[in-house]
């Protein structure tokens, strides 16, 4: 590595092993810089060397701010910077971590208690459940996850389809009351959710007296990884930190922007120079990950998108073996062929953890998991339930949060009767009412539970809980691991698991032990670390941070979870129309392009070998359903693929092309340049042979109609887009007369 050869007298060591484009990105003068980094082009190396180069050119290390999207990426960046002079003084962290850092120091300038507690997703849902029970009891149309998503959507000013169709449900007033009550509860308990960490940081920079000037003076150089996945608020935060023409380096790839559903906007990276009042762009096209044929196929797919920055990846490896495309008769056969292909890789010397199976829809994993079990192939479902979201981990963290923040009502209500101490709903209702009447936190009201009418076992249990929390608070300098151990044992929580008659419950003890071990590692690395710091880090852990080297298991994961990972051998399963692209994407502006980017991300995880699979039919809730191959498969260059068709009886052999289709009974020929009146006939019957118009796919001919009522699906032969299967109620089809 060049960084090892670097010395203050030999700065050329920073760029000696870089290609021309990487070198241009690293050594560009301070100012607005956009690095369009294709998959596998070494963007992390460029980001690290860019920081080192700026420091060598005279930037103080503490004046450099590097922002990543995951804690894992931040750790990797810190490790690499640690080997460079002054690298340990660079601030490297996530957007949310930086927001927490900023608000701890300057939140009081806008009235925020700097001792706030971060409300993670699970506890946010618990709080919203309480509010729904208060304001909309029995209201089945409002569910907690959707309400949380709607709140986030509104806070971030997201575009596209809202999580809740409030205008159609007649629930606007109820939702407004819920949002108001939610904000009040957060303020009263000094809680901030993830969205608040960024929104309030922007507000501090705009409204906090002198804070913006102070931070702009400190952070003279800002670098951001994965800029294609930023949302509007994150962009606003950066534009408040960096003045027009300032030193802002963003690294990203528009072709890998796949988080629109959580507010990300591809427009941020595409409009970077416009936002910064000019700037430079460097494009990284030399790929060090994938073979030539894998890249050829991936590039052929993504080239059909219009929202992108033109580039063409070139491999540094050989052409490699052809990309395999397998068609199976049904899902179970697809599972068996995937397992058989994995078995051949393993027998050829691949480790199981060299292999990943990626899918768009989680349901695709069922048959694959069964087939892997049948062949005794070990596997792991990545991000199925992340460590810090497991119930027992969340419970113990709730105890710890109460030690740190006695006003945290959500945490108190979570553990008030866990383990069981006789505190039922009636007792909790009495305590909550007293807390409301006196304007105090519920935990404080619980100290005087007797005056609230609580007695017997519940009163004894609440007193013991208060005493335990007091003991934990009495030694603030105690190691975090010791505090967690005290809470786990003193509460009886660990004993509850250990003595359970349920084997699954007993196995949860391992996760409690692992949490304490995690804290102990932190105590050893940072002897003076405080409980608040530990809780903050635990709250900011993301699903990708939980992906560990697993020492010998095939990795099964969604295409979103695969982002940022790479494997020698990859299977992309369930490559079918309606799944990849997802049926919901058809009617969303930009939806098909995002699905194509997601397919591109899945393909480019492969280093040496790539297999794409799909089924001709799948079992559904109402029976079996015929499936069409993903239209993305039709973009694959024939010279770079090898087709394995196990279902010729389902309509003839499949082959790539601009209109992938089965040789099933022929519909009327597709029309070109059809003239006629476009008429919307919502209630009329649809007939094979109807000429139709779609807002994205254009003109076509109705090929098949199946299903009934809301489950009616139509297959349409579109001009230039091939045959597409659509759910009629979402299809927005119009008949052409």
CATH of the domain at 478: 1.10.486.10
Q: 47-61, 314-328, 431-445, 706-720: which has the highest mean pLDDT?
A: 314-328
Same domain, 202 and 217: yes
The fraction of the chain above a pLDDT of 90, given in percent, is 49
Question: What CATH number is associated with residue 241?
Answer: 3.40.50.300
Residue 185 has pLDDT above 80, yes or no: yes
Same domain, 83 and 135: no
In a domain, 440, yes or no: no
The fraction of the chain above a pLDDT of 70, given in percent, is 84
Residues across the chain: 737
How is residue 669 written in tokens? 């020929």
Q: Which domain holds residue 610?
A: 289-386+541-658
Instruction: Please give the pLDDT value at position 660.
Output: 39
pLDDT tens-place string over residues 376-392: 899 988 865 556 777 89
What DSSP letter does each residue of 608-658 carry, written as one string?
Answer: EEEEEEEESEEEETTEEEE--B-GGGGGS-GGGEEEEES-GGGTS----SS
Contacts of 380 (CB under 8 A, 6+ apart): 550, 553, 554, 555, 556
Contacts of 205 (CB under 8 A, 6+ apart): 211, 212, 215, 237, 240, 241
Task: Indicate the range of 121-130, 562-571, 702-711 predicted with least confidence.
Answer: 702-711
Count CB atoms within 10 A of the CB of residue 477: 6
Contacts of 474 (CB under 8 A, 6+ apart): none
In a domain, 441, yes or no: no
Residue 325 has pLDDT above 90, yes or no: yes
Instruction: Please give the pLDDT value at position 89.
Output: 85
Contacts of 420 (CB under 8 A, 6+ apart): none
- What's the CA gap between 423 and 425, in Å, rounded? 7
What does the pLDDT average to over 245-259? 94
Residue 674 has pLDDT above 60, yes or no: no
What does the pLDDT average to over 180-202? 94
**Helix or strand holding residue 121 (H, E):** helix 121-135
pLDDT tens-place string over residues 265-287: 999 999 999 998 889 999 999 99
pLDDT greater at residue 482 or residue 602 = 602
Residue that terminates a domain, selected from 608, 631, 658: 658
Which residues of 448-595 form beta strands (DSSP E)? 554-558, 567-573
Q: How do strand 691-694 and strand 698-706 relate by DSSP bridges?
A: antiparallel
Same domain, 530 and 453: yes
Residue that terminates a domain, selected from 155, 189, 223: 189
In a domain, 518, yes or no: yes
Residue 2 has pLDDT above 50, yes or no: no
- What's the CA gap between 353 and 374, in Å, rounded? 18
pLDDT tens-place string over residues 497-528: 887 655 556 667 878 887 887 788 788 778 88
In a domain, 56, yes or no: yes
Residue 642 has pLDDT above 70, yes or no: yes
Instruction: Please give the pLDDT value at position 684.
Output: 47
Instruction: Please give the pLDDT value at position 170.
Output: 63
Strand partners, 221: 64, 247
Same domain, 520 and 585: no
pLDDT greater at residue 87 or residue 79 = 79
Half-sphere exposure of residue 300, counting CA atoms within 13 Å on the CB side?
21
Average pLDDT, the chain: 84
Instruction: Please give the pLDDT value at position 141.
Output: 64
Instruction: Please give the pLDDT value at position 463.
Output: 92
Which band of pLDDT confidence, cut at 50, 70 and 90, is reported for residue 669?
Answer: very low
Same domain, 602 and 583: yes
Instruction: Please give the pLDDT value at position 648.
Output: 53
Same domain, 477 and 393: yes
Instruction: Please give the pLDDT value at position 722.
Output: 66
Same domain, 98 and 215: yes
How is residue 173 written in tokens? 């007033």
Same domain, 123 and 242: no
Q: How do strand 623-626 and strand 713-718 relate by DSSP bridges?
A: unpaired
**Which of 578, 539, 579 minimizes the C-alpha distance to 558?**
579
In a domain, 442, yes or no: no
Domains of the chain: total: 5
In a domain, 695, yes or no: yes
Report CA-CA distances (Å) from 118 to 159, 191, 485. 26, 6, 22
Tell me the angle at which helices 194-207 and 144-155 cross, rounded to the nearest 10 degrees. Answer: 20
Which band of pLDDT confidence, cut at 50, 70 and 90, is reported for residue 737?
Answer: low
Residue 547 has pLDDT above 50, yes or no: no
Same domain, 103 and 209: yes
Same domain, 375 and 398: no
3-state secondary structure of 386: coil
- What's the CA gap between 224 and 49, in Å, rounded? 13
Which band of pLDDT confidence, cut at 50, 70 and 90, is reported for residue 733?
Answer: confident
The maximal CA–CA distance of the chain, rounded, in angstroms, is: 82
CB contact burial 44-74 (16+ within 10 A = b; e otherwise): bbbbbbbbbbbbbeebebebbbbbbbbbbbb
Same domain, 430 and 516: yes
pTM of the model: 0.74
What does the pLDDT average to over 77-88? 76
Residue 724 has pLDDT above 50, yes or no: yes
Same domain, 329 and 478: no
- What's the CA gap between 176 and 181, in Å, rounded? 9
Residue that terminates a domain, selected from 640, 658, 676: 658
pLDDT greater at residue 682 or residue 314 = 314
> If 0-12 CB within 10 Å is exposed, 13-18 middle and 19+ buried, where does residue 524 land?
exposed
Residue 110 has pLDDT above 80, yes or no: yes
Instruction: Please give the pLDDT value at position 730.
Output: 66
In a domain, 112, yes or no: no
Catalytic residues: 43-44, 225-226, 256, 605
The angle subtended at Cα 200 by Cα 113 and Cα 396, nearest 5°, is: 60
Residue 66 has pLDDT above 80, yes or no: yes
Contacts of 80 (CB under 8 A, 6+ apart): 3, 44, 48, 87
Instruction: Please give the pLDDT value at position 546.
Output: 47
In a domain, 295, yes or no: yes
Please give the distance of CA 648 from its chain centroid, rounded to a whole number: 38
Residue 4 has pLDDT above 60, yes or no: no
């Amino acid at each position: 590595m060049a960084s090892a050869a670097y010395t203050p007298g030999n700065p050329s060591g920073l760029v000696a092993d870089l290609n021309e484009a990487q070198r241009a990105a690293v050594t560009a003068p301070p100012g607005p810089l956009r690095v369009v980094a294709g998959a596998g082009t070494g963007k992390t190396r460029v980001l690290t060397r860019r920081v080192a180069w700026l420091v060598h050119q005279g930037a103080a290390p503490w004046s450099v701010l590097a922002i990543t999207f995951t804690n894992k990426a931040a750790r990797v960046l810190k490790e690499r910077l640690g080997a460079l002079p002054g690298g340990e003084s660079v601030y490297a962290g996530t957007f949310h971590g930086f927001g927490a850092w900023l608000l701890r120091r300057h939140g009081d300038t806008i009235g925020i208690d700097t001792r706030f507690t971060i409300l993670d997703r699970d506890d946010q849902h618990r709080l919203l459940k309480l509010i729904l029970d208060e304001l909309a009891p029995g209201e089945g149309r409002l569910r907690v996850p959707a309400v949380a998503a709607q709140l986030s959507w509104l806070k971030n000013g997201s575009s596209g389809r809202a999580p809740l169709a409030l205008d159609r449900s007649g629930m606007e007033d109820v939702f407004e009351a819920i949002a108001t009550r939610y904000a009040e509860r957060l303020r009263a308990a000094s809680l901030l959710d993830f969205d608040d960490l960024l929104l309030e940081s922007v507000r501090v920079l705009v409204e906090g007296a002198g804070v913006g000037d102070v931070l702009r003076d400190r952070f003279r150089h800002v670098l951001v990884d994965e800029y294609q996945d930023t949302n509007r608020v994150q962009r606003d935060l950066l534009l408040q930190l960096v003045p027009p023409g300032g030193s802002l380096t963003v690294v990203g790839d528009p072709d890998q922007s796949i988080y629109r559903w959580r507010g990300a906007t591809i427009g941020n990276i595409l409009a970077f120079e416009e936002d910064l009042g000019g700037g430079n762009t460097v494009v990284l096209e030399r790929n060090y990950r994938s073979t030539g044929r894998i890249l050829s196929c991936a590039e052929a797919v993504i080239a059909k998108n219009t929202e992108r920055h033109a580039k063409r990846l070139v491999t540094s490896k050989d052409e490699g073996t052809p990309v395999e495309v397998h068609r199976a008769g049904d899902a179970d056969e697809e599972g068996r062929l995937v397992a058989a292909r994995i078995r051949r890789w393993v027998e050829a010397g691949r480790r199981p953890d060299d292999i990943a199976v990626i899918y768009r829809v989680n349901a695709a994993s069922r048959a694959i998991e069964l087939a892997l079990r049948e062949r005794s192939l070990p596997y792991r479902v990545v991000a199925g339930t992340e460590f810090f979201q497991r119930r027992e981990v969340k419970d113990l963290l709730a105890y710890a949060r109460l030690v740190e923040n006695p006003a945290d009502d959500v945490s108190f209500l979570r553990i008030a009767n866990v383990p069981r101490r006789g505190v039922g709903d009636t007792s909790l209702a009495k305590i909550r009412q007293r807390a409301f009447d006196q304007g105090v936190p519920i935990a404080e009201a619980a100290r005087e539970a007797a005056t609230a009418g609580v007695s017997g076992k519940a009163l004894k249990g609440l007193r013991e809980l208060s005493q335990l929390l007091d003991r934990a608070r009495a030694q603030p300098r105690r190691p975090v691991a010791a505090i967690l151990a005290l809470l786990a044992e003193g509460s009886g929580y660990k004993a509850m698991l250990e003595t359970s008659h349920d084997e699954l419950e007993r196995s949860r003890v391992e996760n409690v032990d692992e949490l304490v071990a995690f804290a102990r590692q932190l105590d050893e690395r940072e002897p003076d670390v405080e409980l608040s710091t530990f809780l903050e880090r635990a709250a900011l852990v993301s699903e990708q941070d939980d992906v560990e080297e697993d020492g010998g298991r095939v990795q099964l994961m969604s295409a979103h979870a695969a982002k940022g990972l790479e494997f020698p051998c990859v299977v992309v399963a369930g490559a079918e129309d309606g799944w990849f692209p997802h049926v919901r994407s058809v009617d969303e502006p930009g939806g098909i392009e995002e699905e194509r980017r997601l397919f591109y991300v899945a393909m480019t995880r492969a280093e040496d070998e790539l297999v794409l699979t799909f089924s001709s039919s799948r079992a559904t809730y109402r029976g079996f359903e015929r499936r069409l191959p993903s239209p993305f498969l039709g973009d694959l260059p024939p010279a770079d693929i090898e087709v394995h068709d196990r279902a010729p009886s389902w309509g003839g052999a499949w082959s790539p092309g601009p209109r992938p289709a089965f040789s099933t009974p022929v519909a009327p020929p597709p029309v070109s340049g059809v003239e006629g009146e476009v008429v919307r006939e919502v209630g009329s019957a649809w007939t094979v042979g109807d000429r139709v118009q779609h807002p994205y796919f254009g003109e076509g001919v109705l090929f098949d109609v199946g299903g009934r009522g809301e489950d009616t699906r139509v297959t349409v032969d579109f001009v230039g887009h091939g045959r597409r299967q659509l759910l009629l109620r979402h299809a927005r089809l119009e008949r052409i007369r």
